[in-house]
């Protein structure tokens, strides 16, 4: 029996039946299947010839419920007759096997491009319809791969989105097309949050065209711009005021003053302490282990780790959701009942000990006082004897 079986699809258990007598027999086999709700279903095979030493008989089931299933009570009935008439039970197996029935919890319903004819600078908007066919709401995101006219692949990732049970949500991977020619949407994949599980993937291969429209001339040597603007590449651009800290604050697009003009840093450079320096790109990766502990590898770039969970139900057994991370539950060293029992035992031991010390101290003090009284009486008697002797 396979360990995993697809929902609503035929799954076959193979029974290996021995014919030690090597006599000509016809028979059939059957098994009982139980789902996670403890409902049972008994299926049997067709009547087949079982004259070989070892005969493989298939018993199938179409599971209609996700979760853990088991197969047990398999039996074989045999007969000398070809149609299995007059059969009787020859063996009932005590072996039980378990298997898991799985199915996607989220499904891609449709993928389409909002517009198939774009101009350089437009946003290519891909719409991916996702339906929740699971048993509760789930959070997910979509990755789509597109190719530009030079056959360079570009991976697009959407923000995470929560999909209520039974509802459909639209995800919109987007990209600003930057070269003219024939582009292509290659494929889209759907991931469910928790442990970033691939739920569905579809090949699209949808082409779309991007054209280039040259800008119209606003100005030239014969057509000047209005006051406050200057003609740059046949376009009227607002004249830059004299360079100062207020209009050149030391950012990428206005880094430092030179010749009365505020200089911007080009592509691949960033403004650092009043000068343009090469940008420090995020580390390129292929595995999560190549990223810092708080990041994961997405689209070959180390990015902040997405949340693993939103509630304890998103985590595996023995774990709980803490700050969107599944962690192992920490059990206290001593339970509350054990702590109460220890306090009672300590009280039973200490109270008699304290009473014993107190009584012993009291008795010691009384004996000392009695001894003092006896000594005082003896001294008085000695004084009286001395006086009596002196009188005589």
pLDDT at res. 117: 85
pLDDT at res. 343: 85
pLDDT at res. 339: 81
pLDDT at res. 391: 47
Q: Is the pLDDT of residue 381 over 80?
A: no
The dihedral formed by the CA atoms of 191, 63, 109 and 187, expressed in degrees to the nearest 10: 50
Q: Is the pLDDT of residue 376 over 80?
A: no
Query: Under 8 Å CB-to-CB from 135, ≥6 apart: which residues?
Result: 66, 105, 165
For the chain, list the domains and their CATH numbers: 4-102 (2.60.40), 106-211 (2.60.40.10), 229-278 (no CATH), 288-328 (no CATH)
Q: Chain centroid to CA 319: how far?
A: 12
Least confident of 8-12, 117-121, 213-217, 222-226: 213-217
pLDDT at res. 184: 94
Least confident of 7-11, 13-17, 308-312: 308-312
Q: Is the pLDDT of residue 340 over 60?
A: yes
User: What b/e string do you get for 51-77 counting C-beta neighbours within 10 Å, with b at 16 or more?
Assistant: eeeebebebebebeebeebbbebbbbb
Least confident of 165-174, 274-283, 374-383: 374-383
Query: Under 8 Å CB-to-CB from 268, ≥6 apart: which residues?
Result: 278, 279
Mean pLDDT of 190-200: 86
55-104 pLDDT tens trace = 999 999 999 888 899 999 999 999 999 889 989 998 899 999 999 888 88
Mean pLDDT of 136-149: 94
Q: Which has the higher per-residue pLDDT, 287 or 151?
A: 151
pLDDT at res. 332: 60
DSSP E strands: which ranges in 239-300? 256-258, 261-263, 269-272, 275-278, 295-298
Mean pLDDT of 283-303: 78
Mean pLDDT of 382-390: 60
Rounded to whole angstroms, how far apart are CA atoms 142 and 320?
A: 26
Q: Is the pLDDT of residue 309 over 80?
A: no
Q: Is the pLDDT of residue 110 over 90?
A: yes
Percentage above 90 pLDDT, the chain: 39
Mean pLDDT of 312-321: 81
Least confident of 88-97, 122-131, 334-343: 334-343
Per-residue tokens: 155: 């991976």
Confidence of residue 216 (pLDDT cuts 50, 70, 90): confident
Q: Is the pLDDT of residue 214 over 90?
A: no
Mean pLDDT of 218-245: 79
Sign of the CA dihedral running 382, 385, 391, 392: negative
Rounded to whole angstroms, how far apart are CA atoms 263 and 250?
A: 9
Rounded to whole angstroms, how far apart are CA atoms 43 and 4?
A: 19
Per-residue tokens: 239: 């004249």
Rounded to whole angstroms, how far apart are CA atoms 348 and 241?
A: 89
Eight-class DSSP state of 158: P
Confidence of residue 385 (pLDDT cuts 50, 70, 90): low
Q: CA of 106: how far to CAs of 122, 157, 170, 189, 376, in Å?
A: 31, 17, 13, 11, 102
Contact 14, 54 (CB under 8 A): no
Eight-class DSSP state of 369: H
Q: Which has the higher per-residue pLDDT, 228 or 27?
A: 27
Mean pLDDT of 242-248: 73
């Amino acid at each position: 029996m396979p360990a995993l079986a697809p929902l609503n699809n035929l799954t076959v258990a193979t029974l290996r039946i021995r014919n030690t007598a090597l006599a000509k027999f016809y028979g059939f086999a059957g098994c009982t299947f139980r789902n996670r709700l403890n409902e049972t279903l008994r299926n049997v095979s067709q009547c087949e010839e079982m004259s070989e030493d070892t005969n493989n008989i298939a018993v199938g089931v179409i599971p209609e419920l996700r979760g853990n299933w088991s197969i047990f009570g398999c039996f074989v009935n045999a007969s000398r007759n070809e149609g299995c008439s007059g059969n009787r039970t020859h063996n009932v197996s005590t072996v039980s096997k378990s298997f898991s029935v799985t199915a996607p919890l989220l499904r891609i319903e449709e993928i389409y491009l909002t517009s198939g004819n774009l101009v350089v600078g437009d946003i290519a908007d891909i719409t991916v319809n996702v339906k929740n066919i699971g048993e509760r709401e789930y959070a997910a995101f979509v990755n789509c791969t597109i190719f530009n006219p030079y056959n360079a692949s570009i991976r697009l990732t959407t923000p995470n989105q929560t999909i209520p049970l039974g509802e459909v949500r639209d995800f919109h991977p987007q990209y600003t097309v930057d070269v003219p020619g024939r582009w292509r949407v290659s494929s889209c994949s759907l991931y469910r949050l928790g442990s970033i599980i691939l739920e569905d993937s579809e090949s699209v291969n949808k082409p779309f065209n991007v054209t280039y429209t040259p800008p119209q001339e606003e100005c030239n040597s014969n057509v000047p711009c209005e006051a406050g603007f200057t003609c740059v590449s046949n376009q009227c651009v607002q004249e830059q005021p004299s360079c100062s800290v207020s209009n050149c604050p030391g950012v990428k697009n206005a880094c430092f003053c030179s010749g009365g003009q505020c200089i911007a840093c080009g592509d691949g450079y960033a403004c650092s302490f009043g000068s343009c320096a090469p940008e420090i790109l995020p580390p390129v990766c292929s595995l999560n282990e190549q990223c810092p502990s708080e990041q994961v590898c997405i689209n070959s770039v180390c990015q902040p780790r997405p949340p693993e969970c939103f509630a304890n139900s998103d985590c595996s057994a023995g774990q709980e959701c803490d700050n969107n991370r599944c962690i192992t539950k920490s059990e206290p060293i001593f339970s509350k009942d054990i702590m109460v029992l220890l306090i009672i035992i300590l009280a039973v031991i200490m109270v008699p000990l304290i009473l014993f010390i107190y009584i012993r101290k009291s008795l010691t003090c009384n004996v000392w006082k009695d001894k003092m009284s006896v000594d005082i009486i003896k001294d008085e008697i000695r004084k009286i004897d001395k006086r009596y002797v002196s009188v005589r």
